[in-house]
Each structure stands twice: as C-alpha cells, then as structure tokens.
Amino acid sequence: MKKFLYIPFFLMTLFINTNAQTGILNGKVADVSNSEPLIGVNIIVVELENTGAATDINGYFELKLPVGSYSLKASLIGYTTVVKTDVIVKSGTDETINIQLSSTTLELEQVTVTGDYFDKAITENNLSTVILGAEEVRRSPGSAQDFQRILQAMAGVAFSTDQTNELLVRGGSPNENLTVFDNMEIHSTNHYPNEMNSGGPINMINVDLIEDIHFSTGGFISKYGDKLSSVLVVNTREGTRHRNLAVNVNLSMAGYGAILEGKINEGQGSWILSARKSFINLIAGSFGLTSIPYYYDLQFKTAYDLSTKQKLSLSGIYGNDKIDVEGETGHTNINFANSKDSVEIENVLVRQHQHAIGLSLKSLWSNNFYSLTTLFTNSYFANVDVRLDYTERSYNSAGEVSDTKFLHRRRVFKVDGDDGVTAIKTESVWNVNDWNEINFGGSYKTGNFNQKIYVDADTARYDINGDGAFDATISQPQSEFAVDYKLFDHFKYYGFVNDKIKLFDERFLINAGLRYDYFSYSDKGNLSPRFSMSYYLQPNITSFNFSYGEFYQNLSYPEYGDRYNTEINRYLENSHARHFVFGVEHVITDGLKLNLEGYLKKYNDIPVDETFIHFNDRTFRSDKKLSVGKQTTYGIDLLVQQKFVKNIYGTL
C-alpha cells in the first residue's frame, strides 16, 4: 500500500537569543504617496502608559520594550492616524517595523481621531481587498505558517483539496490568480507547483520574512492584469540595520532552517537570508512511508540607500523539489511458497525547481513624484517520468517475497518542461495635488516555453452502439512531440494608467483606469477599462463601494500546444471576464471590521477542448481548442476581520 505525506505535522520553533527580558523595536514612518520619511511623528505604545517616541529627521524611531505584543499609534498633524497591531517584541532581539501615513485635507474639528487599524493608507482600492501582516499569518489557527492556507478561509475563496494551496476565487479556476512577489510577477510561490496554475502543497516563502500581504478577490485597479480573478501581492521585509549579524534557527511544518540578517555600511543598507529544508525524510522510517517528499528553498533580500531619495534592492527566491512514488514489490501468498512470479511495478519520479530574482530601484524625484522600476527573471523546470518496471519475485516457504530481480523497464509517459521570463516593469506615481493622484506604468516581457512529451503506444475499445460489446478499437501509436517557444522570439507587454480622485472633503473616492495587454505569439491584444468608487458616510468608519472592470488573460502556455505541433491553438482568443462588485464596509469598533459585498462575473471566450464538444462521438479525438466557453458566477461575501486588540483576533 502506498503512503503519502506532503506536509509534516510537528510544529516547534527554536530561537537563538539571550536571556534578556526586553527587546529593541526600531521603526520608520514614511508618506504613503511618495515614501518620503516623516519627521516628528508621535509614536505611542497603546498598552503602556507614557511610553512612546518621535521620529527623527530620517523618519526613524527606537523603543526599548518588555517582551510582548503591542499596538503602536502613529500620528502627525495633516496625516491620518494609524494604529499598527501585532507588533511583537522578542527577548534580546531588534525588531523592525515600517509605518505609512496618508495625508489628509480634513480640518481637525471635522473628524474624531480614533486611528486606522486596517491600513487604508496603503490600500489602492477599498473593494474586495484584505491586508495581512506577518504576525497575523504566523498566529492564525491551521495556517501552519503558510499564508495561502489563510487565504483559503477568506470570503469568496474555495479550495480544491486539503493537499494543495490552489485558490478558487469567486467561481474562478486556479489559473486565474496573479502572484506578485516583491514587485515581480511570478508563476507560483509553492513547492511542487502545477504548471497550469499557481497552486502547490507547501509554500516556499518563509513567513518570518514577510512584511505584509495584499489579497484582492476582484475589481482590482488597472496596474494588475492578465488574470481574471484575483491578485496576491507579497512584500518581504528588509534585514536589520542595527546589528552586524542576527541569527534565528527554526523548525516548523515547512522544514528546518535558519534566518541570517545584518546591516551594511553602518546601517545604510541591510541583508537577510533564509534557508530551509524538509525533514520528513529523516523520520520516514518511523511511519513506514514509501513516497517521501524532499525539498528545500532559499530566500533573500538586500537593500541599500543610494541616497535619501533612492533605494536599490535585490530580492530572490528558489525552490527545489523531488519525490519518487515507487510501487511496492512486497506480497504474501502461501500458494506461491518456494516459487517465483513476475510483476509489473509502476514508478513515478518527479523533479522540479524554480526561481525568481529581481533588482528594484525606487526613486523619489520630488515631493509629488516617485517611480519604482524592477528588472527580474524567473524560471520553472519540471520532469515527470512514469515507467513500468517488470520484476521477478522469489518467495520463501512462508509465501513471502524474499528476493527481487529487475527484468525490464517500459516508459509509459514522460514530460520535460521548462519556461522562463525576463522582464522589466516600471510604475510611477504623480501626486498632482491634494485630491488627485495619477499612477501609470508598463512592462515588457520576453521568454521561452519548452515542453517535450512522450506517450507510449496504447489502444482503447469503445462500445459505439451501447449494446455492451466493445468491438471498436482505436489505436494510439507511440508518440513524442514538443512545443517550443524560443527565447526572444515572442514577447508580452502591457501599459496602464489609473487616476485616483478624492472629492467632497475626501468622502468620495474614484479610481478610473485603462490597461492594454499584448502577446505576440497569439497576436492578441486587449483594452481593459476599470472603474471604482467609494462614498464615506464617516471617514475610516463606513463606506459604500462599487467597481466595474474588464479583465483578460492569456492562456497557460501548454494550452497553446498540440500533439503534432501544428499550431492549431496558436491564435486562440484571450479569456475574458467582466466584473461588477457592490459592497458596504463598516468599522464596528477599534480593530473590528465588517465587509459585505455582492459580485457578478460574466466569462466568455474560455478555451474548450473540441473533444468535449463532440462527447457524443466516443471515437472523436482532437487536440484543438475553441474559444467558445461561457460562464456566469455571482454571490454575496461576508468578511469579519478582527485585528489583534485586547487579546482578541481572527477572521470570519
């Protein structure tokens, strides 16, 4: 009997630290619109009376606090007050936190200052968006320190099985989700990924390196596209700028490993490195497992301030996966005592690895204008080998297999695939005035996709007339075929613009945008208008929200191929979805928010296998796809989110 175990079930964390009962909390406060440091921001520790600090000329502050969990309130005249929850101070360590404030034109007497617990300052669109901090992920029940496990429990999200991180968002499929890692658009952040979507059983990203996560389930603005259902943005933190070296050794469900971090050039920069490796292979013998997942991952980030106006950062992630699903030769049958037989054993060997690395430059050109440019590359490689091993078995006097002898091997199926992307993307934000912000940018990608598939000869028999006699035989010859899109032969690009307007004392917020995507292989381009608006009955308390958008998506690369490389699927239409979302959001009390949304999604031009269209003809076989699929999904989502306030937290 085969046994599988993809996720370890021990959870323990070990820290290398001192015996001190206090820790240092370092932080930086910046303007969300241009990332400029803010001077003189009042930082108050909510749980401790008369404990606080003020930011210096570079926007930094430092607090020495007892070990524990805190909330920090940041306030400055002319800016919206923000409360940062889940700030953890550990024994003998330096913790770092970043806070962003949004300027406001409201007069002080017009608003009661209670503090924003939900980071609206950094939310580009109010609708269908949840922001999670690293500590919320770490502490969430059942997450196993895997942030995608938490997202599966969000409103409007379903999952296919417990063994994978595939997200089905508002009736969509797993390949309709965009993942952005440190401004890099990547295929997946999971070990053992599926080439057709962004799922996988175990996440590669170390939760201790996460700054925050933004997850949007629909109606997202024009800077995001080429996906129909959702956007997941993962921002990782920088290393400490206050120590030469800090070390954290840990053991979790994702594996065992270490985090190393330190400062560069007296704090002008920093670096951080995480390395982890699975450990289930070390204890497999205790459970009698025959199929052992083996994987490891690396993650790093280096940041350096070229000046007070420019920052250069280099981020990367790498994952390597292996699993052998081996058939068992063991067998007991007293009737075979002292004899021999032969058996056909199926073995499946899987080898995968992927990486992403990007260099980003953030530049503040003036108080009203900044840009972010990223040059990145990512790749994915997969090898799946399915084979039959014919084996001779020798039985002892008790009818147990005592010896085996390999006879012959037959390959049944094999896939060798790799794809890679090299891209540059840029985004600029121009604060025209206090009530108008324009965001624009674009990206150019070039890459390759190679896939070679081997299929062994086979036959299939069909009951054509339904009389129970399977008399029609359809032969499938042995075949080997390849789909190959060469590097630099084909490319993608997109451009976007979004205008964010605040009216009527910031009670009315409008986002209007436009996006264009083009893919040279299919020679298809699409224009995508986006629009959303929010009306605040009370600032930061109650709002009514609406969004509309057109969304297009290229097919997954394998879908463009066919068995005989005839390019019959090359010019398929891009899949299309039209979103309508209406919702109301209300902050009930400090840290407690309720969000109720209704949505309608209308799909068309979904690729459908021609074989499925002719399903009544059981002998019909075709690799051709047709852009004729349609679908409508609708529903109501209710989200209740409680930030960590007064020892209560959770998401419903």
Report if residue 232 sits inside a domain. no
Report if residue 219 sits inside a domain. no
Nearest-angstrom CA–CA distance, 255 and 236: 19
Residues 102 and 250 in one domain: no
- The pLDDT value recorded for residue 540 is 75
Q: Find the range with the poorest average confidence among 68-72, 418-422, 534-538, 539-543.
A: 539-543
Three-state DSSP at 146 gives coil
Q: Using one digit for the tens of pLDDT, what is the confidence trace for 217-272?
A: 999 999 999 999 999 999 999 999 888 999 989 887 778 899 999 999 998 999 99
Nearest-angstrom CA–CA distance, 90 and 72: 16
Q: Using one digit for the tens of pLDDT, what is the confidence trace for 57-83?
A: 889 899 999 988 888 999 999 888 888
Cα R_g (the chain), whole angstroms: 28
Block residue for tokens 């009997």: 1
pLDDT-derived band at 91, boundaries 50, 70, 90: confident
- The pLDDT value recorded for residue 478 is 57
Report if residue 299 sits inside a domain. yes
- Given a cut of 70, whether residue 561 has pLDDT beyond it is yes
Q: Which has more confidence, 550 or 50?
A: 550
pLDDT-derived band at 356, boundaries 50, 70, 90: very high
SS (HEC) of 406-452 = EEEEEEEEEEEEEEEEEEEEEEEEEEEECCEEEEEEEEEEEEEEEEE
| Domain containing residue 38: CATH number | 2.60.40.1120
Name the DSSP class of 237: P
Report if residue 7 sits inside a domain. no
C-alpha dihedral over 191, 197, 201, 202, to 10 degrees?
A: 40
Distances (CA, A) of 218 to 168, 308, 382, 551: 12, 36, 31, 10
Nearest-angstrom CA–CA distance, 319 and 255: 13
Structure token digits, residue 315: 């981020």
- The pLDDT value recorded for residue 117 is 64
- The pLDDT value recorded for residue 535 is 92
In this prediction, residues 533-539 reach a mean pLDDT of 88
- Domain span at residue 305 reads 246-460+477-651
Report if residue 182 sits inside a domain. no
pLDDT-derived band at 126, boundaries 50, 70, 90: low
Q: Which has more confidence, 44 or 482?
A: 44
Distances (CA, A) of 182 to 31, 115, 381: 19, 28, 22
* Contact assessment for residue 497 and residue 479, using Cβ atoms and an 8 Å cutoff: no
Name the DSSP class of 615: T
Contacts of 318 (CB under 8 A, 6+ apart): 297, 298, 299, 353, 354, 355
Q: Find the range with the poorest average confidence among 443-457, 502-516, 570-584.
A: 443-457
Residue that terminates a domain, selected from 121, 150, 185: 121
In this prediction, residues 615-628 reach a mean pLDDT of 69
Report if residue 142 sits inside a domain. no
Report if residue 385 sits inside a domain. yes
- Given a cut of 70, whether residue 497 has pLDDT beyond it is yes
Q: How many domains does the chain have?
A: 2
* Contact assessment for residue 547 and residue 125, using Cβ atoms and an 8 Å cutoff: yes
- Given a cut of 90, whether residue 397 has pLDDT beyond it is no
Report if residue 157 sits inside a domain. no
- The pLDDT value recorded for residue 451 is 78
Nearest-angstrom CA–CA distance, 576 and 603: 6
Q: Dmax of the chain from CA atoms?
A: 95
Residue that terminates a domain, selected from 121, 149, 178: 121
In this prediction, residues 616-622 reach a mean pLDDT of 57
- The pLDDT value recorded for residue 8 is 41
Nearest-angstrom CA–CA distance, 519 and 530: 20
Task: Please report the beta strands in 67-201, taking only residues with DSSP state E, as ranges in sequence order.
Answer: 68-75, 82-89, 94-101, 129-133, 157-158, 168-169, 177-181, 184-186, 190-191
Residue that terminates a domain, selected from 92, 121, 150: 121
- The pLDDT value recorded for residue 109 is 43
In this prediction, residues 313-339 reach a mean pLDDT of 88
- Given a cut of 70, whether residue 3 has pLDDT beyond it is no
- The pLDDT value recorded for residue 5 is 41
Q: Which residues pair with 642 in a beta bridge?
A: 592, 650
Nearest 5°: the CA angle 497, 499, 505 is 170
- Given a cut of 90, whether residue 453 has pLDDT beyond it is no
Q: What is the mean pLDDT of the chain?
A: 83
- Given a cut of 70, whether residue 616 has pLDDT beyond it is no
**Nearest of 423, 414, 471, 480 to residue 447 by alpha carbon:** 423
- The pLDDT value recorded for residue 549 is 96
| Domain containing residue 580: CATH number | 2.40.170.20
**Nearest of 238, 41, 216, 256 to residue 131 by alpha carbon:** 216
* Contact assessment for residue 70 and residue 51, using Cβ atoms and an 8 Å cutoff: no
Q: Using one digit for the tens of pLDDT, what is the confidence trace for 367-381?
A: 899 999 999 999 999
Highest mean pLDDT among 355-364, 417-426, 485-494, 558-567: 355-364
- The pLDDT value recorded for residue 255 is 83
Distances (CA, A) of 174 to 117, 233, 416, 465, 492: 31, 16, 22, 38, 22
- Dihedral-angle region of residue 647 (phi above 0 means left; psi in -120 to 50 means alpha; beta otherwise): left
- The pLDDT value recorded for residue 108 is 43
pLDDT-derived band at 620, boundaries 50, 70, 90: low
Task: Please report the beta strands in 434-553, taking only residues with DSSP state E, as ranges in sequence order.
Answer: 436-455, 458-462, 472-476, 479-485, 491-503, 508-519, 524-538, 542-553
Q: Using one digit for the tens of pLDDT, what is the confidence trace for 463-496?
A: 445 555 555 555 555 555 555 545 446 899 999 9
